Amino acid sequence: MTRWGHFAIGCAILVAATASTLARADDQDVIDYREHIMKTMGEQAAAISQILQQKAPAENFAIHVQILAITAATAKKAFEAKVLGGEAKPDVWVHWADFAKRLDDLTAATADLASTAKAGGAAAAAPKVQAALTCKTCHDTYRVEKKK
């Protein structure tokens, strides 16, 4: 092989390796970002659950629900980029219409919950919590089970 041949192959390998690394970095950002959102919802749902079990102060209930509603509204955008990995199953993008509808429903339900809690407090909103936070039904279909 000529000297130029080696150079061309070297350049091709360098470009391929660099581009691949950059793509992975970008993909990891997408995964990290959506996981920040999902973990926020997990923390807020846990706080709400503690309040409903009278293990935490009820006065913060309306705020937790509001944070949950705000975060739910950001979730669909975070999954729009089709990047496999993290705890998301490939089915998120295979069945995007269903997944997106479920997130829209979550957004609507948590917004309604937040309005109810703001107006009437935990007592008024509590009966709606179970119907609004159906996290498990979606996780069963679209989330990879965490390893213990």
Q: Please report, as ranges, the residues that interact with another protein according to CB under 8 A.
A: 26, 29-30, 32-33, 36-37, 39-40, 43-44, 46-47, 50, 55-57, 59-60, 63-64, 66-67, 70-71, 73-74, 77-78
d(CA 83, CA 65): 29
Q: How far is the CB of 37 from another protein (least distance, A)?
A: 7
Smaller CB separation from another protein, 25 or 97: 25
111 to 18, 47, 68: CA distances (angstroms): 44, 17, 9
Q: How far is the CB of 27 from another protein (least distance, A)?
A: 11
- In the chain, how long is the greatest CA-to-CA distance? 80
Angle at which helix 3-52 crosses helix 61-80, to 10 degrees, equals 160
Q: Which tokens sit at 47?
A: 């706080």
Q: How far is the CB of 68 from another protein (least distance, A)?
A: 9
Smaller CB separation from another protein, 33 or 93: 33
